[in-house]
Amino acid sequence: MIRFSLSGLKPSTLFRVRGGVHPETRKFLSAGSAIEAMALPALIRVPLQQHIGAPAEPLVKQGDLVLKGQLIGRARGPVSANLHAPTSGKVIAVGHFPAPHPSGLPVPTITLRPDGEDRWGPRLPRLRPEDAAPEEIAARVAEAGIVGMGGATFPAAVKLNLRGKYPLHTLILNAAECEPYLTCDDRLLREHAEEVADGAGIMARALGVARIIVVVESNKPEAASAMRRHNLGMGYPIEVKVVPTQYPMGSEKHMVKAVTGQETPARALTAELGIVVHNAATAHAVHLAVRYGEPLISRVVTVSGRGIARPANVRALIGTPVADLIAHCGGLSGEPEKLLLGGPMMGQPIANLRVPIVKGTNGVLALSPSETHRSAAMPCIRCGSCVQACPCGLTPFELNARIQADDLEGAAEVGLLDCVSCGCCSFICPSNIALVQGFNFAKGRLAEKQARKHQQEETKRLAAARSAREEALAEAKRAAMAKRKAEMAAKKAREAAEAAAQPDGEVVK
């Protein structure tokens, strides 16, 4: 385990990170729009898989009446998350519905028709975090179904329980929001800085750390100022660090390098350095869950792009159809070239506006042709621009060459699995090669290949175990038969000996 001390660093110290690009941020479209509440949609669809890990187990059936905040999906396994009813209403289906994913394939989904009353059921019991044990706080966060709301969707309680495995000392609150267009975290800090600070303090207590750093990019001065005014969370001092506006500054490992100078080893956790990173919106959700017993049933979403009539930041219920969010913002202004969930660099394209937003959805973008113009791909000229831009220190052109040659193992050897899919290489490529899309496809193929190999090895192992059991059983039968034969032979020998020992003519009874 690698340990580092941060005690010698000055509060203003920043460190240079490798690579990165500077796309047009276009945050001005929605940055000035205060968070606005959205009316109840006609239907709410809650996918059972909204997080990394196992999908939740449905607890309701068609025809059930539910109340707002009621548990409708139970976490299944140690890495999973609870799901709660976003509002009161009637369950009209528990089946499959297209997912907010590029594949558009149906996934298990609970469909709810709101009754318009928005009636709360019993909320989670409130905690006084100042007196609560770290285990109690983590358990409450798990009950509330909170996941990483920056897009990663890793169950937050799992991270909060890392205190038992690593010697933690720092919580970093990620409010960089480096993706172009997105402003939901910016507005959240501007309007709810005190609540975010409290949530950060609650998480610090759960983690057992003494230091909190809030990281904000330099293009969000109002958010940084708001957090500096609320520089205590549950008594924990909060340090605000303003980092350069550069993509992908919001990447967990690169943010840690920028503010601490420590580089996380490939495929290692930042927790091995004693540091845990959580998103600012996650801290706000923790505040609501612990202080007020509110599970994660809504989130702030940026609806933006030149294809949106009125870009805005909207607090919407989890499960709200994308079409309803767009309609709330005045609808589409013309036919968009591209529709995305998330930002333009790492967001997922969607073809169906009926898909719902989920816990990790931080943006809905409708981009016009002028925002997505891209020339046809040309052959690689090996200029090295992708190497300079890669924040992970990889050689994307070499990765691409090996993937094109169908050498997946070779691509893995030169870092395919270390790629974070940030898209910097594709953005900077003068030949317009869709590098990151190829890498993602190759990762999927490699995972499938490794899964098949694992399945074959497991099948061989099970077959060998079965053969060993059958052989052991056969050996046991042979041993039992031999023993029985020996016992019968011994019995016959005794009977013969006894018969021989009797006087002539005497009958043995």
Phi-psi region of 157 (alpha: psi -120 to 50; beta: other; left: phi over 0): alpha
What lies within 8 Å, CB to CB, of 496 at 6+ separation is none
Query: What gap in Å lies between CA 412 and CA 394, rounded to an integer?
Result: 11
Coil, strand or helix at 320: coil
The reply, when asked if residue 178 is annotated as ligand binding, is no
Coil, strand or helix at 172: strand
The reply, when asked if residue 329 is annotated as ligand binding, is no
The residue whose two tokens read 């230091």 is 211
Closest to 363 in 3D by CA, of 111, 51, 150: 150
Straight-line distance from the first to the last Cα atom of the chain, in angstroms, rounded to the nearest whole number: 81
Q: Which two tokens stand for residue 371?
A: 């925002």
Q: Are 290 and 141 in contact (CB under 8 A)?
A: yes
Q: What is the crossing angle of helices 396-404 and 435-501, to 10°?
A: 60
- Return the amino acid letter for 437: Q
What lies within 8 Å, CB to CB, of 225 at 6+ separation is none
The reply, when asked if residue 425 is annotated as ligand binding, is yes
Instruction: Provide the CB-side half-sphere exposure for 237 (13 A, CA).
Output: 4
User: Strands of 44-47's sheet, edge to edge?
Assistant: 44-47, 106-114, 89-98, 65-66
Query: What gap in Å lies between CA 102 and CA 348, rounded to an integer?
Result: 6
Q: Provide the CA 268 distance to its chain's centre, in angstroms.
A: 16
Q: Which two tokens stand for residue 461?
A: 């192992």
Q: Which two tokens stand for residue 302?
A: 């940026």
The reply, when asked if residue 390 is annotated as ligand binding, is yes
CB-count exposure of residue 187 (10 Å: 0-12, 13-18, 19+): buried
Query: What gap in Å lies between CA 100 and CA 393, rounded to an integer?
Result: 31
Binding residues for [4Fe-4S] cluster: 380, 383, 386, 390, 419, 422, 425, 429
Binding residues: 380, 383, 386, 390, 419, 422, 425, 429
